[in-house]
Amino acid sequence: MREKHVTILFLILAAVLISADSFSQNSFQQADLLKQYIMNPSLVEENQEPAGVPLLLFDSVENALSGDRNRSPRFFSLDGIWNFRWDKNPFDVPSGFFRPDYDSSDWDPITVPGTWQMQGFGYSLYRNIPLEFSPYDPPNVPLDFNPAGSYIRTFELPANWDEKNVFLHFEGVKTAFWVWLNGEYVGFNKGAMTSAVFNITDYLQPGGNHIAVKVLRWADSTYLENQDMWKFHGIYRSVYLYATPDIHVRDFFVRTQFDDSFTNAELLIEAEVMNYGENVSGRFHLKGELYDPDGNLIRDFSRQLRVPERKEAVVVPFSESVSTPLQWSAEKPNLYTLLLHLTDNQGETLEVLHQKVGFRQIDIVDGVLKVNGVPVKIKGVNRHEHSPYKGRTMDMALVEQELQLMKKLNINAIRTAHYPHSPEFYRLADRYGFYIVDEVNVECHQAENSLPHIPGWEVPFLDRMEKLVERDKNHPSVIIWSTGNECGLAPVHQDMADLARRIDPTRLIMHQSNHPNGDAPFADILGTRYPHPSLLAAIGDTTRRPVIMGEYSHAMGNAMGHFDEYWDVINRNPRLQGGYIWDWMDQGVLFDLMEVRDRSGFNQQAVMMGRPDILETERGAAVGFSGLDDFIELTPSESLDIRGPFTVEMWIYPRGFLNHNNLFGRGLAIDLAQVSEREIEFTLRTGQTHRVRAELPINWNYNWHHLAAVYDGNEMRILINGIPSAMVSANGVIERVRNPVTFGKNHMINNEAWEGYTSNSVMTDIRLYSTALAADELGIHVMNPDKPEYLLLWLTFDDIAKTGTFYSYGSTPLSGSGSMNGIIAYNREPEPEAWQVKRSHAPVYYEAVDLSAGLIRVHNRHHFTNLNEFESVWMLKENGLLIEEGVLELNLPPLAEKQVALQFGSPITDDHYYDLFISTRLKEDQLWAEAGYEIAFGEFHLNSVKILRPDFWDKYSSLSGDVYLDQDEEMITVRGETFEYKFSLTDGTIQSLISHETVLIERGSVVNASRVPIMNEVSSWGVAEFDLIYEWGIDNLHQELKSFDLYRMNEDAIRLTFEVNAYSGEVRDMLFENTFVYTIFGNGEIRMEHSVIPRLEYLPGWPPSHIPWLQKLGLQFTLGGDIRHLEWFGRGPFETYPDRKTGAKTGVYSVDIDDISIPYIIPQDFDNRTDVRWANVMTETGVGLAFYSDHLMNVAIDPYENLGAAWYPYQLRRSSNPVLSIDHKVTGVGGTPVTAREEYRTYPSKYHYRLHMIPFHKFE
């Protein structure tokens, strides 16, 4: 008689789960029963097998050697198409859906593995610290809205499995799930990121079988899965069956231990053999076979088994000596193959298990982490499992592509932030060679210092730790266990560490709390988080433990400044052993671009964000928000920059109050929201904050109402159903903000740190006016807008079209976007920061000793690799062009250094610019790159030449001709034979530069001290430097000519002097005093001297000591419409910044301006080029303008006309007249929360420099 593990509790609960009644119609008793499963932390699973390694089971040695489970007749995949139904809560699920006779033919198809959100069901949203529901009340979760996904499929059991024990293996399901087979309950699980295995032998029937799974979005376990990531749900990893004999190797643990010289090793195996049979007898043997990386059998061993009692296990130990095994390390990931071969007393094969083995040993000696006796540096990244197309479901081909790219970027370590990754990921990490910090799925960031102390939560903490260690214990890549991220420090963490050490005493322990900072009394590793480089140095000087930063160099947007400084510190101190960059990849998610037609004359771009419903209602088409980050966002435009009187009105159908029903907003400047069950609030900021609240009608919920908010410059009013409900005096200009207009969400209120829900209302007939309407002019009284000339927006939701796709980051960037922290983009293409990582992580370092004598010191920073395994070459360049090269023969052991002498055949003179480059490349193809791939380079400037101009400059500067001068009240015009230059007598700018009848510059010498802010400059974590820049209007300078002077030097030279003030558009006393001196020659050459004195100390309340640094200081030039190309001699070819530039080589580069595009999902400053000696812009016909300076320049092109206003790339508009920035100083990008270091800041000091310009005709 088969044995069933069905609890009485579940038999009762099943009736609740299958009820077709809505939650409101269910009894409290039934809800309480459901709570026993999803609001009971001590219940983490039901009817599961004990934790263990994912088994690769085969029927023969031949098949087992392949390691490919698809070649195993003992493996049966349930991946593929299932029938699926999404419901808003478990009580809406059809009754008896799990029974085989239930007809699910009208359900939707869904792919398993896959998240339901990325297949069109439910709602995707991103949160950083808070949960997506509220209130925060562990272990309680919502019941009336707690989406449920129901899955059904059938399968045919393989014919030869009738006498086998069969197990059902879920690699990952989020969050809580129940499973039925052939209508009978099998089991339950809440551990979303590790395996759940069920013995289904007694539930199967020959031939066809029916499986059903119920998944709930939220359970008490959600409080432990509070990671800063997109929230996805469903059966997101593979599901499969495997078959075993009655006597079966259920689990095994493989370890290796070296002798003191790390020459010979012991292979230690503990195999747990389980008896699943009724009357099993006889002799059984367990045999081990070890194959070297080339596939040669080098060891075999066996042991006779004592048959355990039924449902009991016996542990079979092996200890085998292996002579001089090839060691496993991240540099040399040598993998052996172990087969465990179970046979009966006739020698017949019962099963064969496959496992890769790496001979490696982890120790801490004198406070230094060592791998195989060698101190290593951890050059790591934090990695989320994320796909922009599949959410949490990973395509292993793309994962392998990620690992290949990591190797190319000299990354040797990964932290599985912040949960165990897919089992296949670890197999790839073993193969490619990475040092893994394997992190338990425990993060309770929102209440990190309280939740782990609550009694009753110990069980899930320990369960998750046990399942992590048991699952991943055989992977050589895993060197450290992490007891969690941002979940405080409590006694349960000590228990988790003790548990991990009992199971596996061979690995180290790390703890990643915020308080204390990345540390715990039980931790072997000090995992400091986000230190300044100077603080890191101090920590290294005072600690006795290895320091491996759990998170550092936060790469949000355009970031990764001062990365060299981190690694300079790390390389000087043996106990500073590296860290894990936050983080690896931007978490962009692909959405359809759904545009709502605007019926106003402005044709505003209104986009539906998230997945709101379009409903047919008694008032026509309407948009319905879910409360889970659905909203309407307007692309910023000049017309929507609301600073004065306005009216917003809409028809609204409220559907109950959640916790903040935002209706309309524009950041903190304007907000209209239901703030309680009985009140609505209208807020404006005009230098001070004005608020007015109105009481809501009794019948507010589930009825249509007309709502309007009006500001007329003197008064704010709320009108409900056409009746004034509240008003307050208010005046002034509405504050300038960068936020877009939104409906259903306010970006500055409902940001990534927002706790709980957003709007869940239904809206239609939304109108926005640039005037204050009277009550009788509102839409409740008139069908069509009464004042169309003031109508800015009119949305009726009866015309919606998909116009493309876009990648969402899921939160407002003006407070920081934790989903956009990668050094590679959502499409796995490197972002510019990635090349700095590659350089700073480089395993070879070249140091100048005496460049005049060609002396270089080479440091081999490999841990296990001699440089003779690579090809090293040197290259000598003159003015950026290669003139000589040679091979550098290096036989240098790991962690050694030596001095080498280079002999140049070419003389080094001071009339040219000479650079020496040394490059180390792969000599042979590797798993991750082809031969010739460069892993490291060094660059040295050999002579004293600092200023350089294009080779053709002398050709044009030697020309001469007369210069003519015209002047009127508005303009000074300077002409020559082939050029005409105009200068404004209003603002002192260049109004046009024309050469060879081609407009090169449409406007120039525009003083600029700001940039479109990078994410670090607006993030609320750290220093939001741009807040003051914006408040003071330094981003909005207006130029005014104070005086000018003309001086004719001779017939072919004129000097113009302009005294110009560039003042803030917000605070006029904030200004920059400028002197421009232009000397213009008959050949068209301009020699400009620019002196600037920032006068920023006069802002009331901000003494000089509090003046922050500027973002940059330089000039902008609007290019003529025919300019198509940029060429420069400087760092390249990708963007660089003063504190992130050494990963780029100095050289001559060119780019088509049409090919310049932003590499970040969130629009921000980009495309800067540092250390530029000269640059030129040019048309297709070869007419251009060249520049050089007496200082190294920063050069950038902005190809967009609205970079500063856009929040998504789809909103960007290419400009017909791109803007060229030539900056004397640019502030570095810094990091979050560690801002740009002092040496990379542009302080508001006096500056003086020269800029030379000359027109040319390349084909003349």
CATH number at residue 406: 3.20.20.80
Tell me, what's the pLDDT at 600? 97
Work out the burial of residue 699: count CB atoms within 10 Å of its CB; fewer than 13 is exposed, 13-18 middle, 19 or more buried. exposed
Q: Is residue 821 part of a domain?
A: no
Spatial contact of 241 and 158, defined as CB atoms under 8 Å apart: no
In this predicted model, which residue has the larger pLDDT, 897 or 1026? 897
Spatial contact of 437 and 416, defined as CB atoms under 8 Å apart: yes
Does the pTM surpass 0.85? The reply is: yes
Q: Cβ neighbours of residue 1233 under 8 Å, at least 6 residues apart?
A: 530, 554, 1019, 1021, 1022, 1023
pLDDT > 70 fraction of the chain, expressed in percent and rounded = 96
Q: Is residue 971 part of a domain?
A: yes
Question: How large is the average pLDDT for residues 844-870?
Answer: 97
Q: Is residue 447 part of a domain?
A: yes
Ordered alpha helix ranges (H), 1101-1164: none
Indicate which residues carry an active-site annotation: 486, 551
Q: Is residue 811 part of a domain?
A: no
Spatial contact of 965 and 1054, defined as CB atoms under 8 Å apart: yes
CATH number, domain with residue 853: 2.60.40.10
Q: Cβ neighbours of residue 176 under 8 Å, at least 6 residues apart?
A: 37, 38, 188, 189, 190, 215, 216, 219, 221
Other CB atoms within 10 Å distance of the CB of residue 207 = 9
pLDDT at residue 24 greater than cutoff 50: no
pLDDT at residue 10 greater than cutoff 50: no
* Phi/psi of residue 484, nearest 5 degrees: 130, 170
CA nearest 527: which of 541, 545, 504?
545
Same domain, yes or no: 187 and 309? no
Q: Is residue 807 part of a domain?
A: no
Confidence at 1105, pLDDT banded by 50, 70, 90:
very low
Spatial contact of 809 and 588, defined as CB atoms under 8 Å apart: yes
Tell me, what's the pLDDT at 1106? 56
Work out the burial of residue 869: count CB atoms within 10 Å of its CB; fewer than 13 is exposed, 13-18 middle, 19 or more buried. middle
- DSSP code at position 149: E
Same domain, yes or no: 430 and 481? yes
Spatial contact of 448 and 488, defined as CB atoms under 8 Å apart: yes
Per-residue model confidence as pLDDT tens digits over 386-402: 999 999 999 999 999 99
Domain extent for 406: 363-581
Same domain, yes or no: 237 and 252? no
Residue 583's alpha-carbon distances to 236, 441, 528, 557, 879, in angstroms, are: 22, 17, 16, 11, 38
Other CB atoms within 10 Å distance of the CB of residue 1042 = 12
Same domain, yes or no: 387 and 484? yes
Of 211, 244, 277, the residue that ends a domain is: 244
Question: How large is the average pLDDT for residues 1133-1157?
Answer: 98
CA nearest 239: which of 58, 423, 77?
77
Tell me, what's the pLDDT at 815? 62
Question: How large is the average pLDDT for residues 876-895?
Answer: 95
Confidence at 172, pLDDT banded by 50, 70, 90:
very high
Confidence at 1102, pLDDT banded by 50, 70, 90:
low
Q: Cα torsion for 947, 948, 949, 951, to the nearest 10°?
A: 150
Most confident residue range from 282-286, 389-393, 657-661, 905-909? 389-393
In this predicted model, which residue has the larger pLDDT, 133 or 213? 213
d(CA 132, CA 337): 45
Q: Give, in degrees to the nearest 5, the angle at Cα 1074 between 1068 and 1078.
A: 145
Per-residue model confidence as pLDDT tens digits over 700-721: 999 999 999 999 999 999 999 9
Tell me, what's the pLDDT at 1067? 84
Same domain, yes or no: 282 and 309? yes
In this predicted model, which residue has the larger pLDDT, 1118 or 1020? 1118
Least confident range from 7-21, 255-269, 902-916, 1175-1189: namely 7-21
Same domain, yes or no: 125 and 215? yes
pLDDT at residue 1033 greater than cutoff 70: yes
- DSSP code at position 1106: G
Per-residue model confidence as pLDDT tens digits over 960-1003: 889 999 999 999 999 999 999 999 999 999 999 999 999 999 99
Residue with tokens 């003349």: 1260
Q: Mean pLDDT of all residues in the chain?
A: 94
d(CA 665, CA 667): 6
CATH number, domain with residue 986: 2.70.98.10
pLDDT at residue 147 greater than cutoff 50: yes
d(CA 1092, CA 1075): 7
Of 903, 919, 941, the residue that ends a domain is: 941
d(CA 1063, CA 1055): 25
Same domain, yes or no: 13 and 113? yes
Provide the number of structural domains found in the chain. 6
Per-residue model confidence as pLDDT tens digits over 327-378: 999 999 999 999 999 999 899 999 999 999 999 999 999 999 999 999 999 9
CA nearest 3: which of 250, 373, 310, 287?
310
Tell me, what's the pLDDT at 1069? 85
Confidence at 745, pLDDT banded by 50, 70, 90:
very high
pLDDT at residue 11 greater than cutoff 60: no
d(CA 184, CA 199): 13
Confidence at 817, pLDDT banded by 50, 70, 90:
confident
Same domain, yes or no: 668 and 682? yes
In this predicted model, which residue has the larger pLDDT, 279 or 44? 44
CATH number, domain with residue 701: 2.60.120.200
Beta-ladder partners of 1133 = none
Same domain, yes or no: 239 and 251? no
d(CA 542, CA 531): 15
Q: Is residue 1123 part of a domain?
A: yes
pLDDT at residue 3 greater than cutoff 50: no
Spatial contact of 130 and 755, defined as CB atoms under 8 Å apart: yes
What amino acid is encoded at 1019 in this protein?
S
pLDDT at residue 518 greater than cutoff 80: yes
Same domain, yes or no: 1126 and 1225? yes
Tell me, what's the pLDDT at 949? 83
Same domain, yes or no: 1157 and 1240? yes
β-strand pairing of 742-743 with 723-729: unpaired
Spatial contact of 443 and 487, defined as CB atoms under 8 Å apart: yes
Spatial contact of 101 and 210, defined as CB atoms under 8 Å apart: no
Confidence at 20, pLDDT banded by 50, 70, 90:
very low
Other CB atoms within 10 Å distance of the CB of residue 349 = 16
- DSSP code at position 95: T
Tell me, what's the pLDDT at 8? 37
Spatial contact of 663 and 673, defined as CB atoms under 8 Å apart: yes
Q: Is residue 61 part of a domain?
A: no
d(CA 420, CA 227): 13
Q: What H or E segment, with its residue span, contains residue 870? A: strand 870-878
Q: Is residue 80 part of a domain?
A: yes
Same domain, yes or no: 339 and 395? no
Tell me, what's the pLDDT at 6? 41
Q: Give the sign of the dihedral formed by CA 142, CA 143, CA 146, CA 152.
A: positive
Q: Cβ neighbours of residue 596 under 8 Å, at least 6 residues apart?
A: 606, 607, 608, 623, 632, 795, 797, 799, 800
Beta-ladder partners of 253 = 270
Confidence at 306, pLDDT banded by 50, 70, 90:
confident
